[in-house]
């Protein structure tokens, strides 16, 4: 469809700059703040946690996205989440945005803020505002700057997460880039997930929000269980129009291509989060096929990908299909267990392990070889229709427990 | 209320015998089958998994409980769950019951069967029926027999689980005993939970089923997340009437006392399962208080007790209240996060750590001391009403992962 994977992240599109800084908020000896800045005002869109307990930056950003004329910068910190922090937490967001506004010469209500880290602690606001000064002075649009920014927002992540694509709209080359942080957990998005997408496409605020809201259903919400969201989860998209394509203001062909590009970027970033689960050793992809409708397919795929017993079995390279059928059975979706086929696939091959609800008498040795890869796919066919859905997660390992028992100390 | 804790398990009530045998079904060098037998025919009641995928013994037992005139024996095996085994699995249940019927001289439709272990494998029926012969010959009513039976049904359990109480109905001394197996998991009842309660009370089948169905809502269903049930979960109760109390056939005073005794037995067994979670180091009790209604209280208590992040923090003796508030926030229950108080309690003391949604500035040292006990209680007060609910779970440890990565091999 004319969408090409390219090098880079949030600074790949025209007019976007990024920076990282070591503000000493909680971590020592590493960058813990990042900034994204657009030379031109942007249409902005956001999707946020559905948790009743919303961190201060989520409340700030939702208001900015809904009411500001435009957005132009994002300030992010890692180490402290600024969640459950009351009025002082709200004030921190305002002071951070005001500091960035002064340093960049833009309105405070065009500055988005995001935080990730420990819940309940207050941000050291003096360090944050000092960090904002460093960020504004350090902005740059080259590859090194996007790498540093992607690294600065990591918490328990083991790898930075960036991607970018180019495509053509109305004869103009358009670029879209993104970075994110997050670790797939037992319930994947109980960890804070932050995602920032930039594009030089020209698109209205309304259409950008529509595209983003629809896309998260098939991407970030498929590495999560509905409702099991952290206090800080945020996906923010900025579009500055500097590619000079005809502005997208309705659901035309350009809009559909834009949505495909957004899906490609968000799917890549979702898989990076799922595959970098805390302590995990593999990306676990689960496809529910042959379903009566998409809703059923999503419920089945998510139930299996979040089953702790299944995830522990994947870590052990054990084709424990009983746990998969069990997780399908308690998902709440209706199906006939005696019609289910189950397959495992990876770079090492493909194997049908269950047919009509019972074992095919497959080779355990072959199964173990297939399960010993960096990406493992499980396909469940319930033979009820044509709908399907894919969810992403990871295996459950010793290190997951270690990370989460020790995280705060 | 005149209910006295006493020594023993399923053989404590009059007329009940038990046995254990080493049938070599999967485990070597240990007992892997158990039998409970009543000298007199019993009223029987059962509550079973809500999983769509139901193991063969669950289907067999549900039919026996619903349609048989009486029940008189239970045959249990550990090692293989007889789940996802198709027609052959159903046949195994029938053959097991027939073998017990012949050996004991009772009808096959008065024999209940139960299995726990690996899903998907077929039972070696010859070993099972040979085991039934050993069991029938080995029956006895003394303490040693109930201990052996309770040990034979263990899988990943680290301790046998038994309890018994006595109370008085119509001037007669009535005894109730129980044993169970099960390990509290991340979603606690994804592990198979089997529970067997015996009593010499005289009570009709209808009233016994009513008492059992009501009680599991406050006991075994509070160590579980609704719907996240294994393929084999079963709670079976047998009442043989040998205490010669006036038979309970309506909701009178005797029925209410019977229900209290049942609740005491089932609560004790539930806590034993929760506190013997796979790899766990402590029993984690969560009370939601000040709730608008019982439904809200249950949702909040269960969401916190099953939060993997909270459970990992408890293992680390870390008062990570942000994770507790987060788990309340995504539970689906409505409340005001800025009104929540949170307390931790244990044998080492009590501490208010959150008031109106923010930290009380408590001593981390005191908190760690309170959290370093064998039983830790978290109380959340949402200040909306008078309702409360309690859920039980355990911490999440390295050993949980080890057990579940290696379990099948």
User: In which band, very low, low, confident or very high, does the pLDDT at A228 lie, cut at 50, 70 and 90?
Assistant: low
Chain A residue with CA closest to B186: the answer is A308
> Cα angle at A337 between B58 and A284, to 5 degrees?
115
Helix or strand run (H / E) with residue A402: helix A398-406
Which DSSP symbol is given to A141?
-
Task: List the single residue in B86, B325, B408 with the smallest CB-CB distance to A358.
Answer: B86
pLDDT tens across the length of chain B (409 residues): 599 999 999 999 999 999 999 999 998 899 999 999 999 999 999 999 888 889 999 999 999 999 999 999 999 999 999 998 999 999 999 999 999 999 999 999 999 999 998 888 899 999 999 999 999 999 999 999 999 999 999 987 888 999 999 999 999 999 999 999 987 554 433 368 899 999 999 999 999 999 999 999 889 888 865 456 788 999 999 999 999 999 999 999 999 999 999 999 999 999 998 888 767 888 899 999 999 999 999 999 998 988 877 887 888 888 888 889 988 998 889 999 999 999 999 999 999 999 999 899 999 999 999 999 999 999 999 999 999 999 998 887 777 666 666 554 3
> Cα angle at A18 between A15 and A23, to 5 degrees?
155
Mutation to test the B interface, candidates A85, A88, A329, most B Cβ within 10 Å: A329
Task: List the single residue in A312, A401, A408 with the smallest CB-CB distance to B320.
Answer: A408
Instruction: Enumerate the residues of chain B whose CB falls inside 8 A of the CB of residue A227.
Output: 330-332
Other beta carbons within 10 angstroms of residue B295's beta carbon come to 12
pLDDT in tens, B124-167: 999 999 999 999 999 999 999 999 999 999 987 888 999 999 99
Q: In the block, which residue shows the tokens 């019951």?
A: B97
ipTM above 0.90, yes or no: no
Model pLDDT, residue B348: 94
Model pLDDT, residue B1: 56
Model pLDDT, residue B87: 92
> Cα angle at B191 between B27 and B176, to 5 degrees?
90
Tokens standing for residue A49: 């946690």
Mutation to test the A interface, candidates B184, B404, B409, most A Cβ within 10 Å: B404
SS3 category, B26: coil
CB contact under 8 A, A322 and B81: yes
Q: How far apart are CA A134 and CA A151, in angstroms?
A: 16
Residue A131 in contact with residue B333, Cβ under 8 Å?
no
Any idea how long chain B is?
409
Q: How far apart are CA B85 and CA B89, in angstroms?
A: 5
Residue A375 to residues A163, A315, B241, Cα–Cα distance (Å): 19, 12, 59
The CB-side HSE value for A107 (13 A sphere, CA atoms) comes to: 10
Instruction: Enumerate the residues of chain A whose CB falls inside 8 A of the CB of residue B313.
Output: 404-405, 407-408
Other beta carbons within 10 angstroms of residue B222's beta carbon come to 24
CB contact under 8 A, B329 and A186: no
Instruction: Please say if the pLDDT value at position A85 is more than 70.
Output: yes
Residue A43 to residues A67, A179, A249, Cα–Cα distance (Å): 12, 18, 12
Q: How far apart are CA B17 and CA B262, in angstroms?
A: 20
Nearest chain B CA: its distance from A309 CA (Å): 6
CB contact under 8 A, A397 and B402: no
**Could you tell me what percentage of chain A is helix, strand and coil, using 3-state DSSP and rounding each to the nearest 5?**
35, 30, 35
> Cα angle at A295 between A289 and A296, to 5 degrees?
50
Chain B residue with CA closest to A308: the answer is B186
Of chain A, the end-to-end C-alpha distance in Å amounts to 49
Which DSSP symbol is given to B121?
P
Instruction: Please say if the pLDDT value at position A311 is more than 90.
Output: no
Annotated domain spans of chain B: 4-275, 283-406
Tokens standing for residue B320: 């990570």
Model pLDDT, residue B276: 83
A178: left (phi over 0), alpha (psi -120 to 50) or beta: beta
Q: What is the dihedral of CA B400, B401, B405, B409, to 10 degrees?
A: -40
Tell the CATH topology of B283-406: Ubiquitin-like (UB roll) (3.10.20)
Chain B residue with CA closest to A88: the answer is B358
SS3 category, B361: coil
The b-or-e profile of B377-393 (16+ CB within 10 A means b, else e) is bbbbbbebeebbbbbbb
Instruction: Enumerate the residues of chain A whose CB falls inside 8 A of the CB of residue B406.
Output: 316
Chain A residue with CA closest to B359: the answer is A120
Nearest chain A CA: its distance from B28 CA (Å): 22
Q: How far apart are CA A405 and CA B316, in angstroms?
A: 5
Residue A96 in contact with residue A44, Cβ under 8 Å?
no
CB contact under 8 A, B408 and A313: yes
Pick the CATH number of A4-275 from 3.40.50.300, 3.30.420.40, 3.30.2000.10, 3.60.70.12: 3.60.70.12
Instruction: Enumerate the residues of chain B whose CB falls inside 8 A of the CB of residue A53.
Output: 325-326, 328-329, 337
Q: Where are the alpha helices (DSSP H) in A138-180?
A: 143-152
Helix or strand run (H / E) with residue A6: strand A4-6
Task: List the single residue in B186, B320, B407 with the smallest CB-CB distance to A186.
Answer: B186
SS3 category, B162: strand
What average pLDDT does this structure show over A210-233?
A: 83
- Which stretches does DSSP call E strand in A296-398? 341-346, 349-355, 358-359, 375-381, 387-394
Nearest chain B CA: its distance from A77 CA (Å): 18
Nearest chain A CA: its distance from B234 CA (Å): 15
- Could you please report the per-residue DSSP string of B267-285? HHHHHHHHHT-TT-SSEEE
Instruction: Please say if the pLDDT value at position A300 is more than 50.
Output: yes
Model pLDDT, residue A405: 65
Contacts of A196 (CB under 8 A, 6+ apart): A10, A36, A74, A76, A114, A178, A179, A180, A235, A236, A237, A238
Model pLDDT, residue A184: 55
> Looking at A49, A192, A198, A231, which residue is catalytic?
A192
Decide: residue A105, CB within 10 A, 0-12 exposed, 13-18 middle, 19+ buried.
exposed
Is residue A192 among the annotated active site residues? yes
CB pairs under 8 A between A and B: 190
CB contact under 8 A, B329 and A401: no
Mutation to test the B interface, candidates A52, A116, A365, A368, most B Cβ within 10 Å: A52
- Could you please report the per-residue DSSP string of A11-71? TSSTTEEEEEE---SS-SSS--EEEEEEEEEEEEEEEE---SS--HHHHHHHHHHHH-S-E
> Looking at B11, B192, B199, B219, which residue is catalytic?
B192
CB contact under 8 A, B84 and A51: no
Task: List the single residue in B185, B230, B315 with the smallest CB-CB distance to A405.
Answer: B315
Q: How far apart are CA B209 and CA B47, in angstroms?
A: 8
Task: List the single residue in A332, A335, A408 with the smallest CB-CB distance to B318.
Answer: A408
Helix or strand run (H / E) with residue A367: helix A364-371
Instruction: Enumerate the residues of chain B whose CB falls inside 8 A of the CB of residue A407.
Output: 312-313, 316, 318, 320
Strands B375-381 and B341-346, how do they pair?
A: antiparallel
Model pLDDT, residue A185: 53
Q: How far apart are CA B269 and CA B260, in angstroms?
A: 14
CB contact under 8 A, A330 and B228: yes
Any idea how long chain A is?
409
Contacts of A386 (CB under 8 A, 6+ apart): A290, A291
Task: List the single residue in A309, A326, A338 with the smallest CB-CB distance to B51.
Answer: A326
Task: List the single residue in A51, A81, A186 with the smallest CB-CB distance to B330.
Answer: A51
CB contact under 8 A, A190 and B315: no
pTM of the model: 0.79
Instruction: Please say if the pLDDT value at position A188 is more than 70.
Output: no
Give the mean pLDDT of chain A.
Answer: 91
Chain A residue with CA closest to B53: the answer is A329
Chain B residue with CA closest to A338: the answer is B86
CB contact under 8 A, B404 and A313: yes
> Cα angle at A32 between A28 and A38, to 5 degrees?
160
Instruction: Enumerate the residues of chain A whose CB falls inside 8 A of the CB of residue B355.
Output: none
Tokens standing for residue B234: 């079963």
CB contact under 8 A, A190 and B307: yes
SS3 category, A166: strand
Instruction: Please say if the pLDDT value at position A406 is more than 70.
Output: no
Residue B19 in contact with residue B138, Cβ under 8 Å?
yes
User: In which band, very low, low, confident or very high, does the pLDDT at A182 lie, cut at 50, 70 and 90?
Assistant: confident
């Amino acid at each position: 469809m004319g969408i090409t994977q390219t090098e880079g992240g949030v600074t790949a599109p025209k007019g976007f700059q990024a920076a990282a800084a070591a503000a000493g908020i909680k971590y020592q000896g590493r960058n813990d703040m990042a900034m994204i800045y657009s030379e031109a005002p942007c249409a902005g869109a956001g999707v946020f946690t559905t948790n009743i307990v919303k961190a201060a930056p989520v409340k700030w950003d939702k208001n900015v996205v809904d009411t500001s004329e435009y957005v132009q910068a994002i300030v992010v910190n890692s180490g402290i989440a600024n969640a459950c922090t009351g009025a002082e937490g709200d004030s921190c967001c305002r002071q951070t945005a005001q500091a960035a506004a002064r340093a960049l010469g833009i309105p405070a209500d065009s500055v988005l803020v995001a935080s990730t880290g420990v819940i309940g602690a207050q941000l050291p606001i003096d360090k944050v505002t000092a960090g904002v000064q460093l960020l504004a002075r350090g902005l740059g649009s080259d590859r090194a700057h996007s790498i540093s920014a992607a690294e600065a927002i990591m918490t328990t992540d083991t790898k930075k997460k960036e991607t970018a694509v180019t495509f053509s709209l109305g004869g103009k080359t358009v670029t879209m880039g993104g970075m994110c942080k997050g670790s797939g957990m037992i319930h994947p998005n109980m960890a804070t997930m932050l995602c920032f997408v930039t594009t030089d496409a020209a698109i209205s605020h309304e259409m950008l929000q529509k595209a983003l809201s629809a896309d998260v259903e098939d991407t970030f919400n498929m590495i999560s269980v509905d409702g099991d969201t952290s206090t800080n989860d945020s996906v923010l998209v900025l579009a500055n129009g500097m590619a000079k394509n005809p502005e997208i203001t309705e659901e035309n062909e350009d809009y559909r291509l834009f949505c495909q590009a957004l899906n490609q970027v968000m799917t890549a970033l979702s898989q990076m989060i799922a595959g970098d689960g805390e302590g995990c050793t593999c990306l676990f992809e689960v496809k529910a096929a042959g379903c009566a409708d998409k809703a059923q397919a999503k419920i089945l795929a998510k139930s299996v990908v979040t089953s702790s017993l299944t995830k522990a079995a994947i870590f052990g390279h054990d084709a424990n299909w009983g746990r998969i059928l069990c997780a399908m059975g308690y998902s709440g979706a209706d199906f006939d267990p005696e019609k289910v086929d189950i397959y495992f696939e990876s770079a090492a091959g493909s194997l049908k392990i269950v047919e009509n609800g019972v074992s095919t008498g497959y080779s355990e040795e072959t199964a173990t070889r297939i399960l010993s890869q960096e990406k493992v796919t499980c396909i469940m066919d319930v033979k009820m229709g044509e709908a399907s859905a894919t969810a992403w997660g990871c295996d459950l390992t010793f290190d997951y427990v270690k990370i989460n028992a020790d995280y705060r100390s």
